[in-house]
Amino acid sequence: MSIIEVTDKINTLGNAWDQFRKVNDARVDEIERKGNADPLFMEQLSRINNVLDGQKSRLDMMETAYNRPSREVKNVRFSDGNMEHKKAYDGYLRKGAVSDLEAFEKKALSVGSNTDGGYLVTPELSKQIVEYVNLASPMRAIASVEEISSDELDVIVDNGSAAAGWVAETDARTDTNTPQVQKKSIPTYELYAQPKATQKLIDDSAVDIESWLSDKVGAIFSTMENAAFVNGSGSGQPTGILSYAAGTSYGQIQQIGTGSSGVVTLDGIINLVYALKDDYVRNATFLMNRSVVQGVRLLKDSTGQYMWQPGLALGAPDSLLGIPVKQAADMPVAAANSLSVAVGDFKQAYKIVDRIGIRILRDPFSEKPFVLFYTTKRVGGDVVNFEAIKILKLA
């Protein structure tokens, strides 16, 4: 990644945003003059919107690549232990590795696994899969993530406050309310994938079986996790942020109405942000669908200033009212009664729990001539601070 490439992407993003504003201003002027606007304006805005998303996505990828730890260790000489481990793992994926001569490799592969069978993925491959999920998952990027070695995580929640009162010097003092704490348990649920390949493909020495498997599993794990963190029911899967009832009590998430059916309004966004306490606003992030972002980019204040600001620097996020915006495909599109926008301090609000280890069981028998790689991971997630997140409901 050269400075010329970065500068080019930033300039393209800035030019696209200027063009977006000019086209939208022309559309608004025509509506004020004629009462309606040429549909071609919206088509042009949609094309520019795609350019904005594409350029910002490329900038984010370039920043990620720049900050990613070097993986050159794979191209240098391994220590004897790592070489044995890598050789054993590759042999297991390709051949099953069941002979007595491979006892050392089998022992190494099952280090850290439970006693119910299967093999723990090697550290190299496990890192690849988790890396893929982290890069692809907006919730993992903004929520709190904790790794455990048991089947659930207990979280102590302090949702009370002490009471006090004014008294004169000789007035009687009565007991005041004592704050209470609650315990919230976040269980982990099993997430699985079962990619398959022919034995002939696996035997081909030119095939990087580790990369192939990590790409397949990482992609589907990311997709499934994202959906659960947003919309999960909590039954056999994590509990999503949109699954809770509306309200301000513990166990409920406050919903703010827009006042317009199926439309994100500036008033609704402002009311949503101001419903958050100051401590949460400082580290808040907007979460919304890409299609909702297009509508939000059109919002102006009473002076004609756009509320949306593109991140015109490497690592700078797009922002709305000064708050970073993350796009999440699993957030609902704009529609009547949809919960299309969430804002909050997700580090405080949502806890993701990972059970240590991703495991693979090689199955060459069930679907010949294919070899199945039954891969499992255990993950949980739940809201732990209901005050730290607010949701916009489109009336």
Residue 236 has pLDDT above 80, yes or no: yes
CB atoms within 10 A of CB 224: 19
∠ CA 321-349-383 to the nearest 5 degrees? 135
Of residues 93 and 269, more confidence is placed in: 269
Of residues 133 and 336, more confidence is placed in: 336
Tell me which residue of 224, 235, 226 sits closest to 192, measured CA to CA. 224
Return the bridge partners of 189, or none: 379
Of residues 176 and 83, more confidence is placed in: 176
Q: Each residue of 250-294: pLDDT tens digit?
A: 889 999 998 788 889 999 999 999 999 999 999 999 999 988 998
DSSP state of 241: T
User: Which range in 88-92, 207-211, 354-358 is most confidently predicted, on average pLDDT?
Assistant: 354-358
Mean pLDDT of 212-216: 82
Q: Beta strands of the chain (E only): which ranges?
A: 119-120, 144-148, 152-158, 181-187, 189-193, 196-198, 255-257, 285-288, 308-309, 319-320, 323-327, 341-344, 350-355, 359-363, 370-383, 389-393
Mean pLDDT score of the chain:
79
For residues 122 and 85, the answer to whether their CB atoms sit within 8 Å is yes
Residue 101 has pLDDT above 80, yes or no: no
The residues, any chain, with a CB within 8 Å of residue 68's CB and separated by 6 or more, are none
Percentage of the chain exceeding pLDDT 70: 76
Distance CA 303, CA 168 (A): 52
The residues, any chain, with a CB within 8 Å of residue 293's CB and separated by 6 or more, are 49, 53, 318, 325, 327
User: Which range in 159-173, 365-379, 380-394 is most confidently predicted, on average pLDDT?
Assistant: 380-394
Compute CA distances 192 → 80, 118, 249, whole Å: 32, 13, 35
Of residues 208 and 371, more confidence is placed in: 371
Say what the pTM is: 0.74
Q: Each residue of 181-210: pLDDT tens digit?
A: 778 899 999 999 888 888 888 877 677 777
Domains of the chain by residue range? 3-69+240-351+386-393
- Per-residue pLDDT band at 109 (split at 50, 70, 90): very low
pLDDT at 72: 39
For residues 151 and 356, the answer to whether their CB atoms sit within 8 Å is no
Q: Report the b/e string of 147-157 with b at 16+ CB within 10 A.
A: ebeeeebebee
∠ CA 90-95-98 to the nearest 5 degrees? 100
Distance from first CA to last CA of the chain, Å, rounded? 45
For residues 46 and 293, the answer to whether their CB atoms sit within 8 Å is no
Of 232-241, 269-278, 299-308, the one with minimum mean pLDDT is: 299-308
CB atoms within 10 A of CB 290: 14
Of 104-108, 128-132, 160-164, 180-184, the one with minimum mean pLDDT is: 104-108
pLDDT at 73: 36
For residues 198 and 370, the answer to whether their CB atoms sit within 8 Å is yes
Residue 385 has pLDDT above 60, yes or no: yes
Distance CA 125, CA 76 (A): 17
For 129, half-sphere exposure in the C-beta direction (CA atoms, 13 angstrom radius) is 29
Return the bridge partners of 120, or none: 359
Beta strand pairing call for 196-198 and 389-393: unpaired
pLDDT at 197: 86
User: Which range in 8-17, 57-66, 78-87, 315-324 is most confidently predicted, on average pLDDT?
Assistant: 315-324
The residue to which tokens 């997430």 are assigned: 191
Mean pLDDT of 48-75: 58
Tell me which residue of 2, 5, 14, 1 sits closest to 316, measured CA to CA. 14
